[in-house]
A and B are shown apart, each in its own frame.
Chain A
Amino acid sequence: MDDLGFGLWVTFVGMGLVFGLLVALWLLLSLALRFEARGPGAADERRATDEARLATGAAVAPAPERIAIRPTDGGPPPEPALVAAIGVAVALHAESRRLQAAPAMRSYWPGSLLFASRWVSAGRTRQSQSWHRRPR
């Protein structure tokens, strides 16, 4: 029964290849992890995560995590609505800080113009405003 033979052969070779590849991947990973620099790693880590969060485009995403709001004066917990609102605010503000502080090397064109438009423009506005104001 040739088909059955074919099936068994495919199964054998196929599973072999799958396992082989993933084991190779395992070795590759272990190798990579050998050269892990913990300290900076964690730092980069956090940065990467923040960026990834912002990446979702929906600045609202990280709201729940970001805000560990607890009334410092041991008062009652704030309303969920307020919590969410502040969540939005913090996320947006964080994004603005991050993008205004971008190094001169950051490329604004053609992609990042979205951000440029949103926030750098605000910064530029302030710049040119102060320039308008100086005369006075």
Chain B
Amino acid sequence: MAERVVISAAQIDPAALRAGLADPAAGAYCGFEGWVRDHNEGHAVLRLEYEVYAPLAVREGRRILDEAADRYPMLNAQCVHREGLLEIGECAVWVGVVAAHRDAAFEACRYIIDAVKVRLPIWKKEHYASGDSGWVNCARCAAHA
């Protein structure tokens, strides 16, 4: 199958990725996508910039998928994260999980995106309508999507 964890400079195609997870034993598919919002903490956001240290992001991402497979009876999972400049509405991250039953699909998907957001060496710079920009740090982003 395709690489389980991918850092992509090109737009994410969730439909193609989902199709890659097709499995006759799968009864449940859960997909999560993080989209670029037009606001954060009261600031109007124009676009986002992601910096990724790919070698470690991919390795840590695979570790997270392995942990999810250990914890939940899932069949397969995959994760793609963008890097570079993203416009409002673009998909910044996609996680897809297939399992026989929906409990595992939902829980593994949630486990993976939660871990991806706090463990992968990825940094997000917000460009605001005011002309300012700023790196989103953990203290500010921990409680949010």
Q: Do A and B come from the same complex?
A: no
B residues lining the A interface (CB < 8 Å): none
A residues lining the B interface (CB < 8 Å): none
